[in-house]
Amino acid sequence: MCGIVGYVGDSGSTLDVLLGGLSNLEYRGYDSAGVAVGGETLRVEKRAGELETLEAAVGSADRRRFEGPVGLGHTRWSTHGPPTDENAHPHTDEDGRVAVVHNGIVENYRDLRDELEAEGVAFTSETDTEVVPHLIARELRGEADPEAAVRAATERLEGSYALAVVIEGIDALFAARQDSPLVLGVGEGESFVASDVPAFLDHTRDVVYLDDGEFVRLDPGGWTVTDAEGRQVEKPVHTVEWEAEETGKSGYDHYTLKEIHEQPRSLRQCLSGRLDELGGRVTVEELDGIDAPASVQFVACGTSYHAALYGAQLLRDRGTPATAHYAHEYATAPAPIADGDLVIGVTQSGETADTLSALREAAGRGAETLVLTNVVGSTAARECDHAVYIRAGPEIGVAATKTFTSQLVGLNLLAARLAGGDRQRDLVDALRRVPDDVQAVLDESGAASVVEAFADSEAFFFLGRGLGYPVALEGALKFKEITYEHAEGFAAGELKHGPLALVTGETPVFAVVTGDGEAARKTIGNVKEVEARDAPVVVVTDGAAEAGRYADHVLEIPETDPRLAPLLANVQLQLVAYHRAARLDRSIDKPRHLAKSVTVE
């Protein structure tokens, strides 16, 4: 969950590189931040709060204290202990000779802490991480060389970790990975280690993806990767296609708003080369050679779970049995798997711990696995039998926006390719138009004025049926994430089975009503039910069912294929959440208690 950056290179720029990297990683956690710069001496500075608090602390200090050829930094999402100066990373040993940053959870930290305290070690934090520098220091006192000391310490750890370590007097950085993401950046005369590529994208786009159990040494002469037994591992260098400018705000007030407005471009990228418009077919090169599955099980969490619900419905509509499961439940209670079943993980980062566990469980039971992800070289992409990329580009805002719409488009491609059928031409035509349709929503949305009409409301309901149901859930989630106000999403037909008791004249209801079929007519019936209880109603609609006649406010979307109408409705709901959060002056890009890539279970 946390953000790690490490650097070996020009001693005059180490601090600036670390602070810049942390700024690009704040979406991974922002409870506290810290840096350590090493060389002949080791200097550490860390503070509770967002990165600007740390920047002020090092800015007011003598910056010559932070000159050195090697350093590491950390921005934290709290797991063990609240966000305080003492619990912030880096953590050090008692003599201040070893500094460590960590992402993940050391499951046996209590036993290790008891062991170290019995030897007289005094701890200064409540974190699980602090056992690591003390273990390393103990090995160093036993005259182990630095690399051997770090290896010996990591061998004692149980759980998940991405670790980076600097040691006083050593112009090198050591790092290790187990069930938590870690990548190398390879530059000219400098090397980087980080939990995600944006940390060093300002300096290099050449990346090495590390695997579990691998150990890294960075020094001024370059980098070396070895396995658990110390054998050197040859690793390929990949070039990331993102440009550094893509991780900036480009003049928008928030990354979230920028990424909402980037959706026409991200959808074009997702579709590029995947539509045979002349033949009216979907072509997905990554799926060449895969057989049509007997049934499909989706595993995912959060926003990606809503996409999985949508994908399962798409496949069922085409005649393929499909179910969606919360990954954290599937990992401990998996669904039965039969010959010919396909398990699909949906994960933006490809590093979501629960989803990885579910995919590994499925693979261990003999299932074929596929991941729909945004990140080339991610753990899920490397471990699954197949990987399909949504190509949304970097998403910095913690609340997923453009990655969700790209997932929905990617799932339409998957369903068309896996389930086949004779409805491809209409879908291909609609997919070709969908970037322009999204642009029309962005250009013409009245979401900002709708939000103003409900300035005094404190609870919001979102309703949908069929493919509109996952979008209602996502609309409520987005609203909760960035406004901090109460919002719930419901299958429209469920409203009368209990939740209607909560509806009042102060409870705005957003209803997704697209097309003019039975689902639309029944959803209009549910709209009338809440209207009878004096609830104000907003319909998000293409106008086909004339649902606007029954609403206080209408958010319009262009007419399109029924499978893609919910995607356009989702864009309107994204704008509703954004404008409400902006009106309340919330921390939109960095919602409290949340982080972008959830790498702990």
Task: Assess whether 347 and 404 both reside in one domain.
Answer: yes
Tell me which of 401, 418, 443 is where a domain ends. 443
How many domains does the chain contain in total? 3
Q: State the amino acid at position 528 in one-letter form.
A: K
Is residue 301 part of the annotated active site? The answer reads no
Task: Assess whether 428 and 537 both reside in one domain.
Answer: no
Tell me which of 412, 443, 474 is where a domain ends. 443
Task: Assess whether 533 and 388 both reside in one domain.
Answer: no
Task: Assess whether 558 and 572 both reside in one domain.
Answer: yes
Alpha-carbon distance of 488 to 463, in angstroms, equals 9
Domain membership flag for residue 166: yes
pLDDT digits (tens, 9 = 90+) for 518-563: 988 898 888 888 887 888 999 999 988 888 888 899 999 999 999 9
Domain membership flag for residue 45: yes
Strands (E), 10-137: 32-38, 43-48, 70-76, 91-92, 98-106
Alpha-carbon distance of 437 to 431, in angstroms, equals 10
- 212-215, long-range: CB < 8 A, 24+ apart: 212/177, 212/178, 212/179, 212/379, 213/177, 213/178, 214/176, 214/177, 215/150, 215/151, 215/154, 215/174, 215/175, 215/176
Domain membership flag for residue 96: yes
Question: Domain residues for 463?
Answer: 445-596
CA distances from 475 to 165, 313, 504, 580 (A): 41, 18, 20, 12
Tell me which of 443, 465, 490 is where a domain ends. 443
* Confidence (pLDDT) at 301: 96
* Confidence (pLDDT) at 326: 96
Alpha-carbon distance of 414 to 314, in angstroms, equals 9
Task: Assess whether 144 and 240 both reside in one domain.
Answer: yes
Task: Assess whether 254 and 241 both reside in one domain.
Answer: no
Put the strands of the sheet holding 537-541 in their side by side order: 486-491, 459-464, 509-513, 537-541, 553-556
Written as six digits, the tokens of 421 are: 């059928």
CA distances from 584 to 47, 83, 477 (A): 27, 24, 17
Task: Assess whether 353 and 464 both reside in one domain.
Answer: no
* Confidence (pLDDT) at 163: 93
* Confidence (pLDDT) at 14: 92
Catalytic residue among 2, 270, 301, 384: 2
* Confidence (pLDDT) at 150: 95
pLDDT digits (tens, 9 = 90+) for 392-402: 988 888 899 99
Task: Assess whether 320 and 242 both reside in one domain.
Answer: no
Alpha-carbon distance of 353 to 300, in angstroms, equals 10
pLDDT digits (tens, 9 = 90+) for 208-218: 989 889 999 99
* Confidence (pLDDT) at 533: 85
* Confidence (pLDDT) at 27: 66
Task: Assess whether 204 and 294 both reside in one domain.
Answer: no
Q: Which of 468, 433, 406, 398 is nearest to 262 (CA)?
A: 406
Domain membership flag for residue 601: no
Is residue 258 part of the annotated active site? The answer reads no
- The phi and psi torsions of 577 (rounded to 5 degrees) equal -60, -45
- Residue 8 and residue 173 in contact, taking contact as beta carbons nearer than 8 Å: yes
Q: State the amino acid at position 454 in one-letter form.
A: F
Task: Assess whether 213 and 271 both reside in one domain.
Answer: no
The residues near 282 (Cβ < 8 Å, ≥ 6 apart) are 274, 275, 276, 412, 413, 416, 417, 424, 427, 428, 431
Task: Assess whether 123 and 155 both reside in one domain.
Answer: yes
Task: Assess whether 572 and 468 both reside in one domain.
Answer: yes
Catalytic residue among 258, 402, 478, 596: 596
State the alpha helices, DSSP H only, in 78-119.
Answer: 109-118
* Confidence (pLDDT) at 380: 94
Domain membership flag for residue 75: yes
Residues of the chain with pLDDT under 50: none
CATH code, 129: 3.60.20.10
* Confidence (pLDDT) at 488: 94
CATH code, 433: 3.40.50.10490
